[in-house]
Chain A
Amino acid sequence: MAVMNMREAIASTIHAEMERDSNVLILGEDIVGGMGTAGGPEAIGGIWGLTGGLYAKFGPNRVIDTPISESCIIGAAAGAALSGKRAIAELMFADFVGVCLDQLYNQIAKFRYMFGGAKCPVTVRLTYGAGLNAAAQHSQAVYAMLTSIPGLKVVMPTTPADAKGLLTSAIRGDDPVMFFEHKTLYGDKGEVPDGDYLLPFGHARMVREGHDASIVTCGQMVGFAARAADNLAKEGIACDVIDLRTTSPMDEETILDSVEMSGRLIVVDESPPRCSLASDIAGLVANKGFAALRAPIEMVTPPHTPVPFARELEKAYLPSAAGIEAAVRKALAYR
């Protein structure tokens, strides 16, 4: 076991996997940095600092710093994967899926299906989420949209250990994986197992346990939910807090297990409310867990707006621990 932050967990995993398998390559903008400049390569090692040192170790054929061409980053990852390689592609901001969506949505997601079984092992790493005032085009929780695409897997770790376990599984797996890293969680520290560590997808993590209400969420919201649960626990209200870890595949069984015990579901989701993860889970439970429900399902989400800039606005936009607490109380007060 070593203590490290999520950034280090991800960086070390990429190093380890590229070392283990010479077929692994990584592409992205500024993942090396400094190409074609006076300062020379490794000027930055990725703008989030996760890919430093790879170029020196693995060379320009496997560590590819690209011009700003998202469609080609993702498309090239796809082509390399179809040609027997394992590609890691980095999108600097998840919002940029807008630029290259065809390569994800019509190409990578569908190759295996359309071509009758062709393997396309691509891991796309994306940095997402609000909380650093990056405003509307650099703060979106894009995972909800991608969860709905058959053929893609969608993963979002919340702890350094989960980051290592899930990323390793993503790279070694033969399916395309969208690996979502939340901007505000990069610095979070935690214990990380040494050596080979793989986590299966569709396997949620219990963050808190209690039978009064079930709080289901992922990503940055997990920490908020845990704070809300801790506050409620002081008054004798005990909540399950479930960190989904992956939304495609999703651990439906754990969600239903929890709701069958508590009868009260609170879904917390950072993505905008329409056709979102929250509505997906609410629909699932309304359909398969109806008999267990003792109160209407509470959905704690941002409003149907883009992400605003000013500090006060972004704070008002995002769900908060207080908002989650209020939703739990509301569900408990229903009669």
Chain B
Amino acid sequence: MPLARHELIRAYQRMKTIREFEERLHVEIANGQIAGFTHLYAGQEAVAVGVCENLSVEDRIVSTHRGHGHCIAKGCDVVGMMKEIFGRRDGLCHGKGGSMHIADTTIGMLGANGIVGAGAPIALGAALAAKMDDKGHVAVTFTGDGACNQGTTFEAMNMAVVLKAPLLFAFENNHYSEHTGDHYSVGAKDMASRAEGFGMLARKVDGCDFLASYDIVNDVLKHCRAGNGPAAIEFNTERFFGHFEGDPQRYRGPDEIGRLRSTRDCLKIFRDKVTKSGLLDGATLDQIDADVLALIERAVEEAQKAPPPTAADVLTNVYATY
């Protein structure tokens, strides 16, 4: 289904925001500005945005440890996110979660998660809640080529089929599960067919092509929203950075990242496609680029100035009442 102009602009803006957010974090982390572990999503933008542009605020997503992209795509406040990653008191999670647990449940982003594979059961729950509401809402679990081998993912696939839950398994195959290649760790070599084996509708798509990804998600979600049960899409995508920031990436081939950034950059591919087909012009895209950079710059500035949490904040929000 063709996207309207404003939808294309929004999609590009979202993808570009993710890209620049991650690129900037890479720099800030190298400067020692950020505490803890961070896992950058740059390169996979088309998947997050391709999925989330098909969702409303009442549809819910569960993310992975590599969650900034899903968070931005779902519509979370970028400045709030930056503050959270910088550990500030008025960050999205008040400095209590950080990069790996970044969330905003009020808009259906049920959290990045530090436990690989933990997301699928939780997303299943969100799907069951949607089923109770009976309004055609869905839930999405983003699962990598690492998490797809976790028992919890298999359990969730089976149970989603058994319960006909409106759950989309978005398998993001970026070909690396930490330091191990998917050709080694995914025994069946094919996540989509494994999902199909569990009894659900399964598709594959080039995850670096936003337009193709958007279309296939749109199609598949019709199936889910209509009460036909879960579905799976395997997205073939790439990550440009390491598993975590600080990863020496010795598992890469010679000049692999250079090659990926030139041939498998979803932003470039999108720009090519929309300009060649006249859907959008380069100047519009350039303006979006500039605006996004300004946003990220502002986000970092505000994050650096924002006050840190106090010792008393350790004790808050353990329970509603105790």
Interface residues of A, Cβ cutoff 8 Å to B: 23, 25, 27, 61-62, 64, 66-67, 69, 71-72, 74-85, 87, 102-103, 106-107, 110-119, 150-151, 153, 173-175, 202, 249
**Is B269 in the interface zone, CB < 8 Å from A?**
no
Q: Which of B91, B111, B151, B317 contacts A117 (CB 8 A)?
A: B317
Proximity bits, B104-119, A CB within 8 Å = 1, else 0: 1100101101110010
Determine whether the beta carbon of B118 is less than 8 Å from that of A116: no
Nearest-CB distance from A103 to chain B (Å)?
6
Nearest-CB distance from B200 to chain A (Å)?
15
Determine whether the beta carbon of A83 is less than 8 Å from that of B126: yes
Docked Cα-Cα span, A81 to B126, in Å, equals 8
Interface residues of B, Cβ cutoff 8 Å to A: 60, 62, 91-97, 101, 103-105, 108, 110-111, 113-115, 118, 120-132, 134, 139, 151-152, 155-156, 158-159, 162-163, 317-322
Number of A-B contacts (CB under 8 A): 161
Give chain A residues whose Cβ lies under 8 Å from the Cβ of B91: 116
Docked Cα-Cα span, A175 to B317, in Å, equals 10
**Leading 3 A-B pairs by shortest Cβ distance:** A75-B121, A79-B125, A76-B125
A64-B163 contact in complex given A72-B152, A83-B110, A114-B103, C-beta closer than 8 Å: yes
Determine whether the beta carbon of A175 is less than 8 Å from that of B122: no
- Closest-by-CB residue of B relative to A108 is B122
Determine whether the beta carbon of A116 is less than 8 Å from that of B92: yes
Give chain B residues whose Cβ lies under 8 Å from the Cβ of A25: 128-129, 132
Determine whether the beta carbon of A175 is less than 8 Å from that of B321: yes
Give chain A residues whose Cβ lies under 8 Å from the Cβ of B139: 79, 83
| Interface hub of B95, B101, B134 (most chain A Cβ within 10 A) | B101
Docked Cα-Cα span, A117 to B111, in Å, equals 12
- Closest-by-CB residue of A relative to B91 is A116
Q: Which of B97, B101, B159 contacts A76 (CB 8 A)?
A: B159
Q: Which of B94, B103, B134, B317 contacts A61 (CB 8 A)?
A: B134
Docked Cα-Cα span, A69 to B150, in Å, equals 13
Determine whether the beta carbon of A107 is less than 8 Å from that of B118: yes
| Interface hub of B103, B114, B132 (most chain A Cβ within 10 A) | B132
Give chain A residues whose Cβ lies under 8 Å from the Cβ of B103: 114-116, 118
A115-B121 contact in complex given A75-B156, A85-B129, C-beta closer than 8 Å: no
Give chain A residues whose Cβ lies under 8 Å from the Cβ of B115: 102, 106-107
Q: Which of A27, A67, A75 contacts B118 (CB 8 A)?
A: A75
Determine whether the beta carbon of A72 is less than 8 Å from that of B322: no
Determine whether the beta carbon of A67 is less than 8 Å from that of B124: no
- Closest-by-CB residue of B relative to A22 is B132
- Closest-by-CB residue of A relative to B98 is A114
Nearest-CB distance from A68 to chain B (Å)?
9
14 contacts between A and B (CB under 8 A): A25-B128, A27-B128, A71-B152, A71-B155, A75-B152, A76-B159, A82-B60, A85-B129, A115-B111, A116-B91, A116-B93, A116-B103, A118-B103, A119-B320
